Structure 1
């Protein structure tokens, strides 16, 4: 946090009253001494009752919201601040420095700072800068696109759908204090590490946010000693560690090591990434990140510190491995398998307007690329690509453990077909001493600060083999869903079943025959009205995603990167695993202390009153 933004945080903290006494919190043992306990039952006796509401004849029990009589008193918030060693902040959106005032739910703050505004404006698209903010989201749609940088300081700046308070946690006791406070006061709770979130699970109106990004410990284990039969190398990763950090730390080992991370460097590994499954460049060879987890340290909705592994709290262990982000517990650390880093080859391919402006020629090339996707993953490749009108950008083809000659042999039939079709292209091939060197050279950071709706779908081997033409027609619909709209896609060719044919996680069983996972993206203009947003959501769900679903037999999409408002999200996200996950959610969090949209057991929950109050049908 810069000095200017820190000044704002201190200013915001002035909303917290002086020491007015505190509530007594029952003492808890240190997590290191208590985490081996297998919990026979959980205690919910201190949980607050819901606030009731009625909407359209439906009775709800709601989380407490600012301005309601149930909202915790200033004395309670002050007590929480004391409990977390003064690390409770009133959240001010990072763009507030460009506005004269921030009109928050707790009052108005003078916020304009020309130097800080210049910094925020210059860094608005920077993922690293945004990750470092207390509670900002990398993509802004689900914040209600509030309080963006502006050249007019008189523009309105409000909290939107951001949380009200943030605990900048630096130790497990801070996380526990936040969970306990939310449970005891019926306050909505959000867990935020990097804000790397497409679908609004890292923000929420009226929430208390726990920021876990300071948990940066990395502990290498030469030989894992169980439980279970695995005895290879492992590493314990704190909740705040990002992909680029653990890969760099692994590269510095002798010999160099890797773990299964995401493709984007800024993604956090523990937490929501693994709770959604976690896919990346090693997934074809080693399965999902969740398949490679050996243990978790976590805090439950009841405030208990637990270890979860194959023997201790085994049902929670399974559920945390792909069973849904922010659903069962807050992860403090994860222990994962490590693998030797090895020589690898990579390649890039481009077909765009520098090669042709003939859309038929371009679509022929795109169809040929996708036609060979089964062939690519069946040869152990991972392939990342982007698709926009007249632009196919494949960066990169990843061939871990292969030479450039071996990768060239894999892609040769595809390139031969492009030549036969008369499709011009650029193709470059590289060889690297390790995967890490490939990763640094060929993978890119994504841009923050944009506003969009996100959907997507998985195509399996059968889909590609029997209906590639139908898939391409669906792609055309995504790129042009309506005459006045445009979309684009990010594609990932991988198959967790290639290297891990038997699932070791709660992920959808259909992933074991995957070929291509598509993210469909529909841009949204900041400031869109509620009616415009509803229209765009309908286009995403019932035009773009419907086209993708209709071209596929997989019945599957990815928990963290798909439309949470799609029909039958339960079966599409988890398939036959869903009933077990739903039952476990009611065991580990029956009150809904944790909430994230379209996760197990949330069928009765709704965000009512224009995206504000979080309520459960009674």
Structure 2
């Protein structure tokens, strides 16, 4: 693909670039002015009556020079690349901030169109966000090659980091040149944190090392078996490795097999089917190797940098450091049983009857959790889909005895349904069979809230009315019934930064509001208002003792500090001010970002003055 020279920002800067298979032709990349710019410059902007100091972006006088980029590319071993959107090959021309590219390639376009919904395909791309809303959907797969393809909110450049030194160099370069920095492992994120307008990305997905140990001899009282994983390791690969030992082992992971387990997942908390037994993934963490905002490689555990260790365990993704590797507790895998339940239009088209069934089902949330079960379910339109109800360590008879009251009530209601029960030698086998793969490439806003146990018991009618409000607003609900304090000793709760309210919930809901990829700014604003102040507000009102999970919730909700972290927020803010005082790292609505905003319609990252 051949680049043409383009004039950016009213003649302030001419940029050109060429793209080859090896990456960046740095001889023509960056500012043409030879001297390096002074480090630490800010760009002054005024937006909607407020003054801001902004990070440096293409077209700004403080954007690094050609010489700077050349030096940096040498430092990272030639792993610096110019970014293009995944679907650029479907268009005649890709119009990017560094030039116009003749992009069309029929074979590549066919490949991306076929695989765009596939999570693993998108994960293996260097800068893709699995859910496309926060890329601005400006370059989706198309059959019209004459259409417009721009970079949207995808990053400008990325490093395929292969060593700790590459991560350190990327952090140092972004910090010293005041660039927006994005850290991406799998892109497995609902809130757009893996992408960012004008950003430099450090991609850590190549860190794939996995090692097991029978004994932990590091900090803390624990002395049992462990797993240590590199930043790029996904849940399924860690579980495969643990399953291969005799007897098989297991760890806490998300319900989705493709999620990375050593980055944003533990920094957000990390819930999954084992949460009811062992807490969050963050609760099982023993040690992290990280690179902090000053570019230093550090160890964080209960004894060394203990405040950083505490903050990394659920205190917010992309907030305190870049995780290079993580060590977790592992557990004996157990025989497990799963039950699926579905009520769909083939069973009834009577919406009143369906909602009565949903009310009955959700009325057992406390019963399920108190009996150690994990339940994953979806409510969308005229459908209740429970896939699956999981009894870890339970026989078929034991699980069926726990859920029998639910089925008795559904039978008494007279509603038809499909159901099946399976028992497996290990939870790992259940995980592979009953948990279904998710899809990528969707354009939607994501919110969510948890249902506190006390509210489920005293205010269940209002909770169901909130569910109805979500569906009536065009939304979808994905529920996860667990309690992160059920199987975890209370003395362990305060050792992580996770909101204490998660120790007394019975259901964590994700709310999803689909948004057209071609939606206007006004339509997007209206959708955000619906999510925040209609759908999620109904849940917050119905369960005032609930909380929000930072990896799967609305970042623009009111009082997000309390919603995400409760009484832990002041200590997290203090840790952020210590470990990243200048805002090298950024993720929306995380500790210390109160003054930060993406102005000019979600583009420039700036700090209010």
TM-score, length basis structure 2: 0.94
Does 1:605 find its partner at 2:596?
yes
Does 1:487 find its partner at 2:475?
yes
Does 1:550 find its partner at 2:541?
yes
Secondary structure of 1:496's partner? coil
Distance 1:435 1:384 in 2: 15
The answer to whether the Cα contact below 8 Å between 1:511 and 1:556 also exists between their aligned partners in 2 is yes
The residue that corresponds to 1:36 in the other structure is: none
**CA-CA distance at 1:71 after TM superposition:** 0.8
The aligned runs of 1:347-362 (5 Å cut-off) are: 347-362=339-354
The answer to whether the Cα contact below 8 Å between 2:154 and 2:197 also exists between their aligned partners in 1 is yes
Provide structure 1 residue ranges, at least 5 long, that are not aligned to the other structure: 1-6, 26-45
Alignment RMSD, CA only?
Answer: 1.8
**CA-CA distance at 1:501 after TM superposition:** 4.3
Distance 2:297 2:35 in 1: 19
**Change over 3 Å in CA distance of 1:16–1:610 after alignment to 2:** farther
Distance 1:57 1:109 in 2: 37
The residue that corresponds to 1:38 in the other structure is: none
Distance 1:56 1:121 in 2: 39
The residue that corresponds to 1:13 in the other structure is: 24
Q: Which runs of 4+ in 1 moved over 6 A?
A: 18-21
Does 1:205 find its partner at 2:206?
no
Distance 2:229 2:398 in 1: 34
**CA-CA distance at 1:492 after TM superposition:** 0.3
Please list the CA deviations of residues 144-183 of structure 1 after superposition, one character each: whole Å capped at 9, or x if unmatched. Answer: 0121111011111110011100000111111111000000
The residue that corresponds to 1:141 in the other structure is: 133
The answer to whether the Cα contact below 8 Å between 2:450 and 2:506 also exists between their aligned partners in 1 is yes
**CA-CA distance at 1:428 after TM superposition:** 0.8
**CA-CA distance at 1:424 after TM superposition:** 1.4
Provide structure 2 residue ranges, at least 5 long, that are not aligned to the other structure: 1-17
The answer to whether the Cα contact below 8 Å between 1:555 and 1:571 also exists between their aligned partners in 2 is no
The aligned runs of 1:339-354 (5 Å cut-off) are: 339-354=331-346
The residue that corresponds to 1:126 in the other structure is: 118
Secondary structure of 1:497's partner? coil
**CA-CA distance at 1:55 after TM superposition:** 2.5
Please list the CA deviations of residues 87-144 of structure 1 after superposition, one character each: whole Å capped at 9, or x if unmatched. Answer: 1110011100101111110101111111110000000100010001010010000000
The answer to whether the Cα contact below 8 Å between 2:19 and 2:25 also exists between their aligned partners in 1 is no
The aligned runs of 1:77-96 (5 Å cut-off) are: 77-96=69-88
**Change over 3 Å in CA distance of 1:150–1:339 after alignment to 2:** same
Distance 1:301 1:50 in 2: 18
**Change over 3 Å in CA distance of 1:564–1:18 after alignment to 2:** closer
The aligned runs of 1:326-341 (5 Å cut-off) are: 326-341=318-333
The answer to whether the Cα contact below 8 Å between 2:41 and 2:62 also exists between their aligned partners in 1 is no
Distance 2:119 2:552 in 1: 17
Secondary structure of 2:486's partner? helix
Find the partner of 1:218 among 184, 201, 210. Answer: 210
**CA-CA distance at 1:466 after TM superposition:** 1.1
The answer to whether the Cα contact below 8 Å between 1:98 and 1:112 also exists between their aligned partners in 2 is yes
Find the partner of 1:509 among 487, 500, 507. Answer: 500
Distance 1:9 1:472 in 2: 56
Secondary structure of 2:512's partner? strand
**CA-CA distance at 1:17 after TM superposition:** 3.6
More displaced, 311-320 or 60-69? Answer: 60-69
**CA-CA distance at 1:319 after TM superposition:** 0.3
The answer to whether the Cα contact below 8 Å between 1:16 and 1:77 also exists between their aligned partners in 2 is no
Find the partner of 1:375 among 360, 367, 372. Answer: 367
Secondary structure of 2:389's partner? strand
The residue that corresponds to 2:487 in the other structure is: 499
Does 1:538 find its partner at 2:526?
no
Distance 1:501 1:552 in 2: 25
Distance 2:22 2:380 in 1: 44
**Change over 3 Å in CA distance of 1:15–1:452 after alignment to 2:** farther
The answer to whether the Cα contact below 8 Å between 2:35 and 2:67 also exists between their aligned partners in 1 is no
The aligned runs of 1:517-596 (5 Å cut-off) are: 517-596=508-587
Secondary structure of 2:150's partner? coil
Aligned length: 587
Secondary structure of 2:601's partner? coil
The residue that corresponds to 1:447 in the other structure is: 439
**Change over 3 Å in CA distance of 1:47–1:13 after alignment to 2:** closer
